[in-house]
Structure 1
Amino acid sequence: MTTSATPLYLTGAFEPAAAETDAQPLDVIGTLPRVLSGMYVRNGPNAHPGQDPGHAWAGHGMLHGIRIRNGHAEWYRNRWVRSTPAPANYDFFVPNRDRSVTAANTSVVPYAGRILALAEAGLPYEVDGDLNTLGVFDFDGRLDTGMTAHPKSDPRTGELHFFDSYLPEQPHLKYHVASSGGKLLRSTAIELPEVPLMHDFALTEHYVVFFDLPVVADPTVTNAMPFRWNESHEPRIGILPRNGIGTDTIWITVDPCWIIHTANAREDDQGRIVLEGNRVVPDRWDISWARLGGYVDHVPGDLDARNPLPEAYLYRWTLDVHARTVREEHLDDRAIEFPTINVDRTGRAHQHIYAVGYPRVGGADGYELIKYDTFTGTDEVRRFEKTQIPGEAYFVAAPESSNEDDGWLMSLVSGVAGAPSELQILDATDFTGDPVARIVLPARVPYGFHGSWISDPAES
């Protein structure tokens, strides 16, 4: 797929894998920690051969899994998620549309003994430990919306928090809470003026944080991702008490932006919400959306294809719920994506954020992993060649760890221009040191989105 007729979003790092592959065992450079027993699995859009999905984010979901046990990398396999395909003339804006129709291409999470492949406009799809699709998971028919690709598990209660903001009819947004055992506990409707492209949200001890921002759905956009930037849409962040109803939401206006991913949120000693994530401004939105295949009125500059995702920057919002004010801080000038933390710190104070660094438009080549220290304001940088693009760094805590960063980071590195793809495992406490292990993969892995480490059940 390298001809001039091939869309930009089906070339280079995003060029789809043409087939499903099985390989065993795998070559390992270094030593795998023997306490790691489970599977790393990552999701991402991967169009079927000969198909043009119309947007980089619309290709059918493909899972890539690497099985690790007893210090060995036992196998690699990739599988398309067998979700319901969209019928002819499928309309995203029809109320009560069939939510089993989804690409299921964005993330993959363990939940209640299941493995769920997610894309926020549709229902979750369950897969087994060999990545075979089992079918829709809808909480025994109780879930009547989709599930965000970024559900949050509360480390205190084990409850799963999630939402769907792609409802063409009012209320446009529904927030759900489920038990750790797989039961849907409650749902709350929140009315919004339009359908926003709300990809992520945040959780604190007492609140849920939502983003009603100027990237909104537009039925006139004939595209696989029918969204545009609407300058007249008020940018605001909503704060809902965890046990509240939709009308309890407090809205605070912020500077115009799109928040693509959050790292975390917490409440400080003054009761304010401190939110950290990556922020996209309007002109960076235009460039990235055009490159990815979306519709824009005007594109300033050229389509720099080195950064396969929207150009975003690490940012902090400090929200005073009572005064309904916000302080905004730009934390870094580097273009970053996929900010992650030790998920055991979800909703609480965290020291470290891990992120992928990309070339800025007009900037130097090369890719990075970055470890930010939010206490000191410093960071460490791990640099990669321009032919290997590191993926999201997923943190896996070491057994009986005492410090927040005691553990490993797993990053699926995609090779381009003939470079190898590999799963790199890093010691999070020795971020710039040699990898603990590099698992060399038998095939090129396209650049994708989010992954998870799925541990084997503990032996009784």
Structure 2
Amino acid sequence: MIETEFERDELTSLNRFNPYLKGIYAPVRNEVTALELEVEGEIPTDLYGAYVRNGPNPMHGPEGMHHWFDGDGMLHAIFFENGKAEYRNRYIHSQDHEADRAGTLTAGGILEPARRPEGAPTVYKDTANTDVVLHNGSLMALWYISGQPVRLDPRTLETIGTETFSGALPKNVSAHSKVDPVTGEFLFFDYDLYNPVMSAGVVSKDNELSWFKEIELPGPRLPHDMAITENYMILMDLPVVFTEAGLRNKMWQIHQPKNLPARFGVVRRDGTGDVKWFETEPCYIYHGINAWEEGDEIVFYACKMVPNGLAPNAEFGPYAPMAAVLALQAVLHRWSFNMKTGEVKVEQLDDRRTEFPVVSLDHMGRKSRYSYNVTIPNTDTQVFDGLVKYDLETGQGTDHRFAEGVYGSEPAFAPRVGAKDEDDGYVITFVTDSATGKSEALILDAKDFDAAPLARVKLPQRVPAGFHGTWAPGDDIAA
């Protein structure tokens, strides 16, 4: 059993029921820089850059109801160069993190009543704990409810400051906004929790806001991701929404109405024209894989949610409903949107439960063949017990299983220096042994995916289970 400071003396009687404050989810307290790491195996000398992963790490024991998504953002990163590795972890100093440290924070987490003053940029505490991308030479940490991006140094992880694009950012930015590998542009979306609008915009490679527009919706929506192609952005209007009581009382109470379809909105990347909507059967998508154009069609691959079949676990007390929702299950699907006829085709490609997909970022928005997803067992809390490399052309997958009781993170694909094709490189992930609390970084050969790791890099402290990561190429960091 993993020992944590929270388990010993900081958790209220209420939060002793919360599974996402214990074990592999419990926060770590130390910000560490470790330049000499023990390695089992050999780190390839043509692996150059950083694997960076974001996630929640509560700065102090919560007093009220605490959602897993509420924890203060913390980046964990491992940097590779010349067959050696360095590890760092740092808190993300969002404006709300700093206010919390100063004792002046007015906002709470999503299970608490909204109490932010009218006119504030966000309703709940903005932690920037969800996603991380590399743009314009530095990292940006992003929040899933739409918040203020936070810039960080890609090598040291030190916070640079809140990013407003020279004061031109009109509102907020959601996690899962994208960076185009060819143009260097940052394409983003944003949504209002309690108003029937979504917005989209583009920031140039030089960090200048090119355009921004609001898009009217039938009602307030809670999207989670978007996709890009060479010429388009794909936005999602999906039928998971606040209940009427949730809207009235500004409480995080959501449901899935049976009469609402799923809609996908295609927006031109130059900001011109109207949104072209495609309507399908109801579904929810947390995370897309990739999208691209094929003639008159836009092809979009994503993980479509399916019921997990779990009943609330009484051991979790008041947190049983939260845990039952967080244990997400999804399967690989492909959507085709015909821009001329308006026809939509949907196809399931596999029945394995996989999620948190990543591709080679060099192929974002362009045709790609491979996706690297985590595999998810049907457990009471969200854990990743392995990875699968999907061939999107065939729907076939190659599994890489972790040892019993060892759980991983969203991986990243790292092209080797001088890579010749799409999967010529490595897949990196953090894993933690739930029995010992020891964490490692695994380096897998993407072309020999089910083989033993090329290297296991021993980390100086546990990496708590978390959310999304990215690969930051060494040359881009140096630039």
Q: Check whether TM > 0.5.
A: yes
Map 1:152-163 → 2, pairs under 5 A: 152-163=178-189
Mapped to 2, the partners of 1:410 and 1:63 lie a distance apart of: 15
Find the aligned partners of 1:165 and 1:294 in 2 and give their Cα distance: 29
2:83 aligns with one of 66, 71, 80: 71
Task: Tell me the residue number matched to 1:151.
Answer: 177
- CA deviation after TM superposition for structure 1 residue 288, in Å: 9.2
Unpaired runs of 5+ residues, structure 2, are: 1-5, 109-113
Aligned equivalent of 2:230: 205
Shifted more, 213-222 versus 65-74: the winner is 213-222
Query: In the alignment, does 2:191 pair up with 1:180?
Result: no
Between Structure 1 and Structure 2, the one with more helix by share is: 2
The 10-residue stretch of structure 1 (343-352 or 448-457) with the greater mean CA deviation from structure 2: 448-457
Equivalent position SS for 2:397: strand
Percent of pairs with identical residues: 36
Partner amino acid, structure 1, of 2:364: T
* Aligned equivalents of 1:156, 1:106: Cα separation in 2: 25
> 1:9, 1:292 within 8 Å by CA — same for their partners in 2?
no
C-alpha distance in structure 2 between counterparts of 1:173 and 1:139, whole Å? 19
Q: Distance in 2 between matches of 1:210 and 1:293?
A: 36
**Aligned match of 1:123 in 126, 148, 154?**
148
Q: Distance in 1 between matches of 2:190 and 2:368?
A: 27
2:46 is aligned with 1:55: no
Match status 1:97 vs 2:125 = no
Deviation at 1:243, TM superposition (A): 2.8
Structure 1, gaps ≥5 residues long:
none
1:111 corresponds in structure 2 to 135
Q: Specify the alignment match of 1:140 in structure 2.
A: 166
Aligned counterparts of 2:335 and 2:449: Cα–Cα separation in 1 = 27
Superposition pairs of residues 272-291 of structure 1, within 5 angstroms: 272-281=297-306, 283-284=307-308
The one-character-per-residue Cα deviations of 1:222-263 (angstroms, maximum 9, x if unpaired) are: 798554333343321112232344x71122221211110000
Q: Partner residue of 2:267?
A: 240
2:239 to 208, 211, 214: 214
Cα contact 1:389–1:413 (8 A) shared by 2: yes
- Which secondary structure does the structure 2 equivalent of 1:13 belong to? helix
SS at 2:24's partner residue?
A: helix
Deviation, 1:104, is: 0.6
- Amino acid corresponding to residue 261 of structure 1 in structure 2: H
Query: Given that residues 425 and 438 in structure 1 are in contact (C-alpha distance below 8 angstroms), is that contact kept between their aligned partners in structure 2?
Result: yes
User: 2:297, 2:337 within 8 Å by CA — same for their partners in 1?
Assistant: yes
Note the C-alpha offset of 1:268: 2.1
- Structure 1 partner of 2:28: 17
Inter-CA distance 226–125: structure 2 relative to 1 (3 Å threshold) = farther
Q: State the one-letter code of the partner of 1:123.
A: Q
Question: Deviation at 1:67?
Answer: 2.8
1:42–1:452: 8 Å Cα contact kept in structure 2?
yes
CA distance in 2, matches of 1:379, 1:215: 30
CA contact (8 A) 1:55 1:225 kept: no
Q: CA deviation at 1:304?
A: 6.8
Q: CA RMSD in A?
A: 3.2
Shift of 1:138: 0.7
Q: CA deviation at 1:204?
A: 1.5
Aligned match of 1:6: 17
Q: Distance in 2 between matches of 1:6 and 1:417?
A: 20
Does the 8 A contact of 2:336 with 2:344 survive in 1? yes
Contact 1:287 1:303 (8 Å CA) reproduced: no
Give the match for residue 350 of structure 1: 368
